[in-house]
Structure 1
Amino acid sequence: MNIDGMPAIVTGAASGLGEGTARALAAKGAKVTLLDMNGDRLEQVAAEIGGLPILCDVTDATDAEVAVAKAHETHGACAIAVNCAGIAPAAKIVGRDGPMDLDAFRRVIEVNLIGTFNMLRLTAADMATREPNEDGERGVVVNTASIAAFEGQIGQAAYAASKGGVVGLTLPAAREFARTGVRVNAIAPGLFGTPMLLGMSQEVQDSLTSTLPFPQRFGKPEEYAALVVHMVENTVMNGECVRLDSALRMQPR
């Protein structure tokens, strides 16, 4: 798909991978709608790239429906959707204080998996209303998984389960939407320089980067965004989850 002029929706767009993706798509000429819960930062990023900022809780059906409708009204039917909204709290299943709080587990699943599914169902339905291009293509969805889906560490049970669900969602969604010309892919990032990691002490950051085979540094949001751009532009890439991890294979802890 040629990105220039295409309506795009990016969740988690006020920082990290989502911000990097929103900027990259805007630089390629997309009409970007940015969704996030961080209102001040969302407005700033949107103003800088000429995008449409919308406060949205991706776990809420009505919130998401209203956001997609506003994006459609402003830019037209969605052609590109990238789901980057997510959380990554750490907790053992059974810790020193006993079993993990069930609501804490539920919250991670709600944001990372159900939130992704919520936006997938709504944007794919919107994409189905578009006129197809010469390949019969109407839209592209890129979801964010994690290498924790494959090598979840101790303390990552909720996060790994949520991201494993995103991986598992990819192929059946791609198969279902093939009839409407909507592609679905996922990216499984390793260690990226997002606010969560960059907020850690330098000692912890150095310890983390030392585990990376090459390059021994955090990935950059623009490097994640470059893969998103490729997935959008490469029409035969469909139903795939691609690791983006500097050859990292995480150890148990």
Structure 2
Amino acid sequence: MELTGASALVTGGASGLGLATAQRLAAAGAAVTIVDLPSSAGAEVAGEFGGSFAAADVTDPGQVAAAVAHAAASGPLRVVVNCAGIAPPAKVLDRDGEPTPLADFERIVRITLTGTSTVIAQAWAARARTGPAADGDRGVIVNTASVAAFDGQIGQPAYAASKGGVHAMTLPIARELARHGIRVVTIAPGIMETPMLKGLPQAAQDSLGQQVPYPQRLGRPDEYARLVAAIVDNGYLNGETIRLDGAIRMAPK
């Protein structure tokens, strides 16, 4: 897919996997719009690589629609990458044996799963009205699941459910959008070197990295971004979830 003259939208793009992806897509010639919360550093980091920033809460359809329109104003919207999500730990029962508040579970699912669905719907509506390339291709949507979708650990029921939902909806949405020439692919990262993990002591980071069969280290944001670029480039990748995890299979805790 030729990205020069096209636009791309990356949610959760102010840091971590999203930022690395935004930078790589911009380097490939796309006009990149970072979507993140108003409190993020989105405007600052977007300016560093010549992108733009659209403040939005991915659970708000109106805000997402405005962000999509902002991105589409820079050229035909060909790439949408969903990196927005949260991962606070929460067991089914708390330390006192009481059920965890339902609102905590719902918040994780609302942001990580419903937010992804909202972005897909708003981007699809805009892209379906955009003329296709010469081969009928209108672009690709890349979602972010997690190995927790398959190997959820103790304390991750809401997170695993939300990421499992992202994985599960990949194929049906790819089938639905096929008639519009839009592909849908999901990446399930393992233990990645995100800002949250980089804040841990080095010994803790090393311990986590040693759990990975090979290479024995944390995954790097640019490795995620490189996979996004490969998905964009390979037009036959569709309806699939790809693990990016160094062959790790998470232990129960």
- TM-score with structure 2 length normalisation? 0.97
- Residues 131-142 of structure 1: matches in 2 within 5 Å? 131-142=131-142
CA shift, 1:206, in A, is 2.1
What residue in structure 2 maps to residue 237 of structure 1? 237
Instruction: Verify the 8 A CA contact 2:193 2:218 in the aligned structure 1.
Output: yes
- Residues 54-73 of structure 1: matches in 2 within 5 Å? 54-73=54-73
- Residues 76-225 of structure 1: matches in 2 within 5 Å? 76-97=75-96, 98-225=98-225
Instruction: Verify the 8 A CA contact 2:38 2:56 in the aligned structure 1.
Output: no
CA shift, 1:39, in A, is 4.2
SS in 2 for 1:5: coil
Question: 2 CA distance for matches of 1:210 and 1:94?
Answer: 30
SS in 2 for 1:125: helix
Aligned positions, number: 252
Instruction: Verify the 8 A CA contact 1:90 1:155 in the aligned structure 2.
Output: yes
What residue in structure 1 maps to residue 42 of structure 2? 42
Query: 1:201 is aligned with what amino acid?
Result: P
Cα distance per residue 1:29-83 (max 9 Å; x no partner): 000011011545111111111111111100111111111122223x133110000
Change (3 A) 1:245 1:40: closer
Query: 1:119 is aligned with what amino acid?
Result: V
What residue in structure 2 maps to residue 27 of structure 1? 27
Instruction: Verify the 8 A CA contact 2:61 2:122 in the aligned structure 1.
Output: no
Cα distance per residue 1:139-192 (max 9 Å; x no partner): 110000000000000000000000000001100000000100000000000011
SS in 2 for 1:204: helix
CA shift, 1:194, in A, is 0.4
Unaligned runs of 5+ in 2: none
* Identity among equivalent pairs (%): 52
What residue in structure 2 maps to residue 53 of structure 1? 53
SS in 1 for 2:172: helix
What residue in structure 2 maps to residue 12 of structure 1? 12
Query: 1:227 is aligned with what amino acid?
Result: L
Cα distance per residue 1:55-114 (max 9 Å; x no partner): 1100111111111122223x1331100000110000111121311111010000001000
Question: 2 CA distance for matches of 1:101 and 1:206?
Answer: 33
Instruction: Verify the 8 A CA contact 1:77 1:129 in the aligned structure 2.
Output: no
Question: 2 CA distance for matches of 1:194 and 1:38?
Answer: 20
Question: 1 CA distance for matches of 2:206 and 2:111?
Answer: 29
- TM-score with structure 1 length normalisation? 0.97
Question: 2 CA distance for matches of 1:54 and 1:7?
Answer: 13
Question: 2 CA distance for matches of 1:228 and 1:5?
Answer: 18
SS in 2 for 1:173: helix
Question: 2 CA distance for matches of 1:10 and 1:127?
Answer: 15
Question: 1 CA distance for matches of 2:208 and 2:129?
Answer: 45
SS in 1 for 2:227: helix
Instruction: Verify the 8 A CA contact 1:14 1:38 in the aligned structure 2.
Output: no
SS in 2 for 1:67: helix
Instruction: Verify the 8 A CA contact 2:10 2:33 in the aligned structure 1.
Output: yes
Unaligned runs of 5+ in 1: none
Choose 207-216 or 145-154, whichever is displaced more.
207-216
Query: 2:89 is aligned with what amino acid?
Result: A
Query: 1:89 is aligned with what amino acid?
Result: P
Question: 2 CA distance for matches of 1:248 and 1:81?
Answer: 27
